[in-house]
Structure 1
Amino acid sequence: MHPYKLILLTLFLSFAFLATSKASANCEQSCSLKSVTEQVREHALLNQFKQTKRIAILSKPLVSTGYLLVSDELGVVWQTSLPLKGTIVIENDSLKQFNKHDQAVSAPANTNQQASQLITSTFLAILAGDFEQLERNFSAELICDETQWQIQLQAKHDDMRRLLTDITIIGNTNIQQLIFSEANGDTTELVFIPFEDPAIEEALGLYFVR
């Protein structure tokens, strides 16, 4: 597998956030990217996630679970707990990876930096609710009904289309689900549930200073 594909797969196995919430009766009235952005930015600090990765050549999906810590000031810690522990720390200008023993793991020397940076910036923009940045690389269509909103992002440029064709973001007052469609036909679905556990939150926060 090409090194940048390894980074891409790791990122797909290692991103996103947020929570379920009460349905809004006024969803239709607030159906705009601006209002959705404001909702998304009021996100939960700690979330559990379930990820389902469907690979075209495999008959069964790959399922993983874990925790996501989101800090507006520091960045994101995404830790897979099952089937195998692994941790990724994403900050504005860096990405750190740790194995199941919490040992730092370096990306291959010949990794496609442009591709990995493009993927990283896209996911950080989703986490931040920065749809203005997303619209540089994607066209956005927003659909609302009485219970939720959905944003469909279609890749505009060849550099992005070689990696991702589209992203679906589904939520209410926060993001509940993300679906990524890759150019090779693979898809990744992420579902998020808010979670409160001070011990887990503290342990994940320590990765920011490693």
Structure 2
Amino acid sequence: MVLSMAFSTTSFAQNTQVTQIFKQLSATPTVRANFQQQKKLVSLNKTFVSNGEVLFSKQNGVLWQIQRPVQANLIVTPKKLVQKTQRTYSQIEIDKSPYGSVATMFLQLMSGNETALSKNFNIVSANYSATQWNISLTPKSGLFKKLFDRVDAQGQRYVDRIVITEKGNNMTTIQFSQHTTQPVQLTATEDALFKLAK
């Protein structure tokens, strides 16, 4: 009895922490930031770096504007994942690809959509304080488990860092900086890109 009471208290405390994290993330309709992604491939003993700007719009989705090593736009909405460069264009239905589902994880995390995120992930730990929060997720479905082992995210007011531990000890780290909530309105270019993934 004592054990079960202790366990339920821990679960409740963690649930409260999780709720606070997602409540904070869901409070902002638009976030813009710079990002740097480092993808470490153990088999090649190489780390690939890309960077650019990211726009999160609660109403529309996530727009990754990659500037280096190549220029490309990656648009993620609950329905589609679209990749567009000057010469190429491709799109996939989110529910027909595991990679599409992984892409929507960023959307669900940034929008503080705990319900959607919990369909595909277990929340294994969560800590929240006035100055910093962190959360760790593990995939629920067999499909996701084939791709990666866990996702760790941390931040202050917004998401600052996401680390995805993949199979074979490969790792993807995305660092966000210079967050701003302005401008709230999309530019004509941004709006046109989001419309591609409606």
Match of 1:137 in 2: 120
Structure 1 stretches (4+) deviating beyond 4 angstroms?
195-198
1:122 aligns with 2:122: no
Greater helix content: 2
- Highest RCO, 1 vs 2 (Cα 8 Å, sep ≥ 6): 1
Report the alpha carbon displacement of residue 117 of structure 1 after superposing the two structures with TM. Answer: 3.6
Report the alpha carbon displacement of residue 196 of structure 1 after superposing the two structures with TM. Answer: 7.6
1:153 aligns with 2:137: yes
Change (3 A) 1:197 1:172: closer
1:171 aligns with 2:132: no
Change (3 A) 1:145 1:70: closer
Instruction: Give aligned-pair identity as a percent.
Output: 22
Take 2:133 and 2:181, find their aligned partners in 1: how far apart are those partners?
25
Take 1:139 and 1:97, find their aligned partners in 2: how far apart are those partners?
29
1:53 aligns with 2:39: yes
Report the alpha carbon displacement of residue 179 of structure 1 after superposing the two structures with TM. Answer: 0.5
Match of 1:95 in 2: 81
CA contact (8 A) 2:38 2:174 kept: yes
Q: Which runs of 5+ in 2 are unaligned?
A: 1-12
Give the SS at the match of 1:92: coil
Match of 2:24 in 1: 39
Q: Which runs of 5+ in 1 are unaligned?
A: 1-27
Match of 2:4 in 1: none
Report the alpha carbon displacement of residue 156 of structure 1 after superposing the two structures with TM. Answer: 2.7
**Whose radius of gyration is greater, 1 or 2?**
2
Change (3 A) 1:146 1:58: farther
CA contact (8 A) 1:69 1:205 kept: no
Change (3 A) 1:53 1:154: same
Alignment match of 1:208 (pick from 182, 194, 197): 194
**CA RMSD, Structure 1 to Structure 2 (Å):** 2.7
Change (3 A) 1:76 1:177: same
Greater strand content: 2
Answer with 120-129 or 149-158: which moved more: 120-129
1:105 aligns with 2:126: no
